[in-house]
């Protein structure tokens, strides 16, 4: 009987290690596969679910083994610790995501102008059935954004639309964004727009970004909209992207001698 119980604790530790050491490499391969477009979003979500369930099993088996090790001193401590370590490493990502879901509102479409947001002209052609559709921003979403991100609003600049377009195009080029559509101003007062695709840092999810530049009594005004293609919650990514872009615009207007000549001179 004692031998059978001892074997049970030892097997739990061994299986915890076997399952645990598999989780992190599998997680890395899944992310790489998605970033290089080897697997699609459905494949990524499926693999993530498998990996995180496996990581949870590794942690549970390790804790189960610890009971026997603590009470009876049976062997297997190192195996259980290895399984617990790798399992917790793999589960750190969903745990962090859960924290951010609590910290930020459930939004996936952020705009400096929530009443009349810039529209996506090219992005809809790249969407599949499982991707989000972004049209008008619903009133409850607009109120949630205003409450969570009161600093994200239309920016006005003492510069004509041609100058602001040149700077915005320069800043977009300094990021890892892929510009997929643009309308340059035909003179110093005409409207302009830039549409691009941005990718998230870790998983490389593609998000859609559109920039609108219009003439204003002060000079010109700029609105930017960033929207996630996947998921109901962006974990604060779109707001962060907009803030970083607007900060870069402010710096470039002061320090970068960039001009756009509508006449092509």
Q: 15 pLDDT exceeds 70? A: yes
Share of the chain above pLDDT 90, in %: 65
Give the model's pLDDT for residue 8.
Answer: 52
As a whole number, the mean pLDDT across the chain is: 88
Does residue 67 have a pLDDT over 70? Answer: yes
Assign 3-class secondary structure to the chain.
Answer: CHHHHHHHHHHHHHHHHHHHHHHHHHHHHHHHHHHCCCCCHHHHHHHHHHHHHHHHHHHHHHHHHHHHHHHHCCCCHHHHHHHHHHHHHHHHHHHHHHHHHHHCCCCCEEECCCCCCCCCCCHHHHCCCCCCCCCCCCHHHHHHHHHHCCCCCCEEECCCHHHHHHHHHHHHHHCCCEEEEEECCCCCCCCEEEEEEEECCCCCCEEEEEEEEEECCCCEEEEEEEEECCCCCCCCHHHHHHHHHHHHHHHHHHHCCCCCCCCCC
Query: pLDDT-based confidence at 260, cuts 50/70/90?
Result: low
pLDDT at 59 over 50: yes
Long-range contacts of 138-142 (CB under 8 A, 24+ apart): 141/107, 141/109, 141/114, 142/114, 142/115
Q: Which of 29-43, 74-88, 147-161, 236-250 has the lowest mean pLDDT?
A: 74-88
C-alpha–C-alpha distance, residues 42 and 125, integer Å: 19
- Mean pLDDT, residues 123-152 taken together: 90
Q: What is the pLDDT of residue 151?
A: 95
Question: What are the φ/ψ torsions at residue 133 (nearest 5 degrees)?
Answer: -110, 125
Q: Is residue 208 a contact partner of residue 134, using CB atoms and an 8 Å limit?
A: yes
Higher-confidence position of 155 and 20: 155
pLDDT of residue 79 exceeding 70? yes
What is the pLDDT averaged over residues 190-205?
92
Query: Residue for token digits 């979500």?
Result: 45
Residue 201, pLDDT > 70, answer yes
- pLDDT digits 0-9 by tens, 162-190: 999 999 999 998 888 999 999 999 988 89
43 vs 258: which has the higher pLDDT? 43
Would you place residue 81 in the very low, low, confident or very high pLDDT band (cuts 50, 70, 90)?
Answer: confident
pLDDT of residue 3: 44
Q: Give residue 259's pLDDT.
A: 67
pTM equals 0.86
Q: What is the pLDDT of residue 70?
A: 61
- Residue 13: is its pLDDT beyond 60? yes
In this prediction, residue 2 carries a pLDDT of 41
Residue with tokens 């996936």: 108
**Residue 254 pLDDT greater than 60, yes or no:** yes
Residue 1: pLDDT above 50?
Answer: no
**pLDDT of 40 above 70:** yes
């Amino acid at each position: 009987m004692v031998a059978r119980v001892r074997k049970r604790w030892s097997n739990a530790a061994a299986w915890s290690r076997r399952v645990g050491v598999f989780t992190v490499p599998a997680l890395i391969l899944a992310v790489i596969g998605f970033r290089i477009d080897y697997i699609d979003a459905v494949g990524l979500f499926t693999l993530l679910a498998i990996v995180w369930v496996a990581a949870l099993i590794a942690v549970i088996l390790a804790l189960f083994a610890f009971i026997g090790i603590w009470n009876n001193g049976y062997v297997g401590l190192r195996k259980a610790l290895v399984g617990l370590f790798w399992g917790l490493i793999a589960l750190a990502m969903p745990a962090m995501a859960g924290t951010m879901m609590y910290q930020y509102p459930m939004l996936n479409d952020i705009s400096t102008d929530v009443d009349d947001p810039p529209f996506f002209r090219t992005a809809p052609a790249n969407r599949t059935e499982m991707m989000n559709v972004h049209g008008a921003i619903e009133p409850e979403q607009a109120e949630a954004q205003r409450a969570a991100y009161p600093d994200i609003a239309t920016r006005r600049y003492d510069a004509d639309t041609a100058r602001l377009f040149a700077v915005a195009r320069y800043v977009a080029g300094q990021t890892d964004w892929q510009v997929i559509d643009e309308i340059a101003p035909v003179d110093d007062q005409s409207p302009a727009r830039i549409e691009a695709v941005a990718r998230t840092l870790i998983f490389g999810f593609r998000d859609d970004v559109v920039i609108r530049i219009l003439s204003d009594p002060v000079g010109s005004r700029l609105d930017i909209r960033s929207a996630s293609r996947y998921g109901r919650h962006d974990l604060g990514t779109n707001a962060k992207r907009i803030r970083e872009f607007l900060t870069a615009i402010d710096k470039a207007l002061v320090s970068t001698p960039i001009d756009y000549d509508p006449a092509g001179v």
